[in-house]
Structure 1
Amino acid sequence: LYALNTWLGLLLHELLAKEKPIIVPEKTEEINEGSCVTIPCAYKKLKDETCTLLWFKDPKYDDVSKMFIGTIVYSNIEERPQSPAYSSRVEYITDATSLKQQKHQNDHWIKCDLRITDLQKTDSGNYGFRVINSEKFMSETLTLTVTDNPCKVHTEPSELKNPLQESEEFTVRCSTFGSCNFHPEWLIYTSGQKQEWMSSSSLTEHYSQQLSSSLFLFLDAPKETKATVSSENVKEGDSVTLSCTSTGRPDVSFKWFKKEKTEKAQQMSDLTLISVKPEDSGEYYCEAENKHGAKESNIIQIDKVSQCNLWSALKISEGDKLALKCLVQKSNPTVYKFTWYKNSQVQSETSETFIISKVTAEDKGSYQCRADNGIKTATSDDLWVSVMRKYYIICSTLYYLCVPSTNKCLVLYILTKTCINILLYCTKCDALLNFSFSVLTDSPRNIKIKGVASVKVGTPLTLTCSADSDPPPHMYTWKHKPGLSSVPLSMETGQLNIKKMTIQHAGQYTCDVTNTIGTGSHTIKVDVLYALKNVSVSSKGEQTFGSELTLTCEAHSKPAPSSYEWKKRFNGQLKTVGHEQILHFYFLEITDSGQYVCIAHNSIGKTESPSVEIKVKCEYSFLLVTHFNAPNINIVHNMTIFTQWNWKLSVYLTCSADAYPPATDYKWFKQGDKTKVVSQQQNFTVWPQNPGMYYCTAANAIGKSRSEHIMLFIGSEYEMAFIK
């Protein structure tokens, strides 16, 4: 291994002395063939800055592409790939080195050594390092000369007089011209370029310390010739490298072809196309050749997409038709997608042509198209479309008067509605003239009102009126229909402001815009949204037992009610009984009696109606008398027959009635010679000393009913009866 150990010290010394951005020793070095060499290098870089790094052999600046070209020995980017001849023999050695002597803390010196192994005589040349970041730098070059190696093996015969055929046997002898400290070995290349090392068994050492050996070899014509490309997707402006490989003995030379035309003949296997242009598209192949024959490679297809251009007439007037076409000069494959932009905003059109049937002032702006063929997208330049307005032309008599003292002209012309003074410069004072003059002018048009069309009650409203007008407007007037009077506004803003909207503010708003030529107007509708109001319940039908009754919920709101809810007050609480606008009772029962409310909903809120009471009218259907023996209620409840030994216990009676309206008048009677009222309460206690037959009555506003009688404390036994 041969290394330039002292170069790095010289490099650092030179770096500190001259502050160069890249340091590569500018000198000439001779290295033996088959050895290895390390070229020292260092470059200055800022923190967090991405760099493109390239080592060149024989770099040369190309004025057309504005790039350095040459054999790329090392590269850290795919766009400029490494030459295959160096792919297995080059090592890039780097680390971040901070020098104490550097003046700026943000600067870092980075090691960029290049090591090449198994040097060939073809490696001779000038080597330079290229750094591309925010700036571009190229180092000085080191000249490397690869010399003959004294221990290099030589073969006998050096060449064959007659070509050998495949599988033909021959003998070749290798030897060295000088003394060597190691034994020669045979390196056999098989057809697959696989290396096999074999030690010679017939090694003999001569007095001259020369070495020799013999081995059988097989030589053949080029085989397995293959062409490859550094990038499958080639884009216009990119650089691409075509590489050719082949097997054969002796070594082969290469030629590159494009469509049966020789593109370049060279011994190297690489063909580099810098800054691909449309004419570079096509089919490429290489040919490998030696004394025994030639072999062509496979075909490499290079396709590209051209930049697209926009083509359209620029003189567009209001009402005209505008057609923009995205022209793609060449594309392989075919463009499958077009995207259109106006003022950097994506448009809905996706075809090759962008059409506006009737141009308006709003269509002016910057237009751009983008073409996509699946490999690359290309974007056109911006095209500015100006929309010229169409004016009304008013012709009038114009009076031209020259004022010599000021060398100015006073021009008066009369329009149909007003007089305008125009002051012009004149080059010569002549007599009073009059002539016809065409005035390009227009009344307000394209009037727009900007503002919300729906607003909640109690919130503010702002409407802004604008128009295209030449001459400019001098007055704006707002009108409301119905109900509100006209509201004049300042001509600077044309803005209507209402701080707090009410229901009465809903309706149509018209903006009148006036200039010296005429008046134009525009109208919009404004809805005022408010919560439900005046929610009420109406009924239809009789409120009697068994009849049909309908309750309807009515409400006024903007927007209209979206849902309804019915609730019934039950035991002091509201219970939901329906969700439609109408609550229908097909057969009224007593249990339907109560207070009902309706709740109406819309997007603003909800409102509850006043309660409506339903009173189901009916006569008594039955009365129930129950009695209990007190104070042992459980025992009384568990017994069905009383015997005389328990006559000392009193009986508690309750008169229970089920009716609506509720019973308000209760009476207890004891039946005898003279039936009399014994109590006017709902509950009554009978003691054993007052035996007899008892019954009760209950009355309400509808009528009165009587229960069946019950006998108490009569005879030896009796039954407790439930009277209905």
Structure 2
Amino acid sequence: MYCVAGVVAQDGWAVNYNSKSVCTLKGSALSMECTYTPPSNHSVQKAFWTKELVTSGSEPPDLSDDPEYRGRVQYLGDEHRDCSLRFKNVTETDQSKYYFIFITNQPGGKYQGAGGVDLSVTDLQVEVPERVIAGDNVTLTCKTTCSLTVRPTFTWYRNGSSLSSSTDQLHLQPVSSDNKDRYHCAVLGQNSPEVTLNVRYGPKNISVSISPSGKIVEGSSVTLTCSSDANPPVQNYTWLKGTSLVAEGETYTMKNISSVDSGEYKCRSSNEHGQKLSEALTLNVLHPPKSVSVSISPSGEIVEGSSVNLTCSSDGNPPVEYNWFKGTSIVGKGETYTMKNISSVDSGQYKCRSSNEHGEKLSEALNLNVLYPPKNISVSISPSGEIMEGSSLNLTCSSDANPPVQNYTWFKGASLVAEGETYTMKNISSVDSGQYKCRSSNEHGEKVSEALTLNVLYPPKNISVSVSPYGEIMEGRSVTLTCSSDANPPVEYNWIKGTSSVGKGETYTMKNISSVDRGEYNCRSSNKHGEKLSEALTLNVLYLQVEVPERVIEGDEVTLTCKTTCSLTVTPTFTWYRNGSSLSSSTDQLHLHSVSSDNKDRYNCAVLGQNSPEVTLNVRYGPKSVSVSISPSGEIVEGRSVTLTCSSDANPPVQNYTWFKGASSVGKGETYTMNNISSVDSGEYKCRSSNEHGQKLSEALTLNVLYPPKNISVSVSPSGKIVEGSSVTLTCSSDSVSPVEYHWFKGTSSVAKGETYTMKKISSVNRGEYKCRSSNKHGEKLSEALTLNVLYPPRNVRATSIRAPDSKSETLTCSSDANPPVQNYNWFKEGGSSPVGSGHSYMALQSGSYYCVAQNEHGSQKSAAVTVKVNPNNILVVVTGVVVGLGVVVAGAVFFYCRHVRKSKQQHLARVGDLDY
């Protein structure tokens, strides 16, 4: 049982608290001073302080043993009289009543001082006036929530630096709106929180911003925003353009802005303490040109040779550029376009294009009409072409003039023949031939055309024939026939004996005339407009002639006979000549034995000093010397045209040509043309020529048709599966008669040249489509693609762990690169030699490090290990997986149920379903 004592108990117990209440600063130290008196026959065995006023028999807790006070309280008293307690680093939770207790060595000797000490803990704080206006004198007061037990000394700080004031008040005079200083006070080494002054002031630092920034183009939207420094914040914003109120509010938005919105804008901001106007913001609205117009100087008529200025004006921001157009052609730049010494070619429509970076506009057309005297005068004739006698024609005069020509005058030579734009001549004759000119004039001058020559054409007329010398014509003499006629254009002369043409030209001379020359001769005079035949002129010649059999065939016996045109009165002696040499025969006949086709000899006879004309034998024979030529010569390329020509010596000339390719007849005629020739036309060609006396075959001509590669194919060796590390050769073949070059491509990239392309120690990067390009000088062709599929064992094998968001298990997944795809996945736990699972995915039920081994028919590879931590809480996990390999798909699902029993510390695993991968 505790005895609660006051200052003095009746039985001699006493506890005296020097102060019933104590006020101190949070974080400071203090002492609670106390004295006590035990009874004289008692010895104090324990003295301590507590927060509990105890009336029961249980012992209250010692403050020094309380964890919240341990190290912060110290009992300073003794076992006789002093019971003071020392506090350090006082906190707000220390605010309470504290009691002193002492216990003696006698039964019932437990005593607690009544009333205790009431401890109050206070903060320092700086009191600031509720309303501070810029320019005011302000007093700050350092306050506590209770009266400190000791009289304090105050220290003031501004921005961490101490001030001279040492009282509980700090006087500031006057305060500025820029006052952002931090103030606090300190007492007994304890600091108050810092405060700043909320100084109220009217608007200042007012500014205007524009959004979007940059150039402002007509039609866009612009927002002006006003900002200013004020306390309290600005209450009213007013917008002015010049001196006019245009809007209110912190922002002023102008939608679909136009050039009329350009100008200076200001913002006026105000609060209860005043107002201020911003600096002006200049709004420059950019817009494309408009109101484009063109003027001309000087005005009035424009005469060729004068100067003219065209001036363009328009409204645009930024300033515009000017371009001048005549029709659709650009002719100048600049505000003014000057044409000096203007000419008729400058007539036309002119426009000015005004443009800046925001657009352009074209002016209305200005029509420029340049006046000038006639020029470019010309004369035309209709109908055009040749002018025939008896036809009608029109001469038309045309000229370029402005205003148009008023007078046309026609001249032949120097003589005036007509007036008017057109001069018509009907039933024209040769006397109308000559030079014609046209003179055209207007009010600005005149000009004469170049001369037009009129040439009237007509067929021959007035044709006549004469002979020189005139009289009896003896064989061996010379005779000249002359023809004359009138015609335009000049004529051609042809001489005709009977129905045969015998000569050309104005004169026809026969030297050493013979009997064969006797007969009727006509002259035919002709030009392209007609012809005319002269009257016949009869020529009678006295002569000798050698008579030859009508038909001579190679190998025949032939007799030549010497005849005269009349019977001689005496018996003549005949002399025969071959190629000018006399022969032994002296009769009127010459006998030739077995004549040859090569007989080209000339024969004649002579009687009484007169020689007959020479004759040659027309020996008939079958074809010989048959040959074939080709055109064009040189290389023969597929697709072109080729002509074979057959020639041979035969009399009469060959009547039939037959063409053979090998033993097959392919055509007839002297020429055989093959259009769009192809390789199938290559081969040996012969020509067989024949006439009535026989036939003969030519030597063979070999035709070699060149063509670009075709039938291109690619093969691979060895065939079958291609495994990484082996050697593969691709071979290209094509049909071509010209040497070819081979290029190999993988995709679109060139990889090799030559008929074969060998890849030693092939790898997966060599997989893909390969093509071969075969080319010669006549073209090229690309093969079909050959796909190379390189097989290789697994690599880049990687195991990954995935934990489902709502699951405490981990699923392992194995991935790899392989061809063919991996057939088997096996899972191992490090340290073990046997697989713990198979398949693409595996659910780990135990913590540890796992790795997978991927395998196909070409090998296997092991992944790096993955560490798994499995939480043994209750889990229901479903794992599904799909593995694709060698064209087989196998799907499986594994279901596990795991229960953790806490009380027994045991785990039970029940497999409710199992289907291996």
TM bracket, shorter-chain basis: 0.3 to 0.5
RCO higher in structure (CA 8 A, sep ≥6): 1
What TM-score do you get using the length of structure 1 for normalisation?
0.33
Q: Which has the larger radius of gyration?
A: 2
The structure in which a higher percent of residues are strand is 2
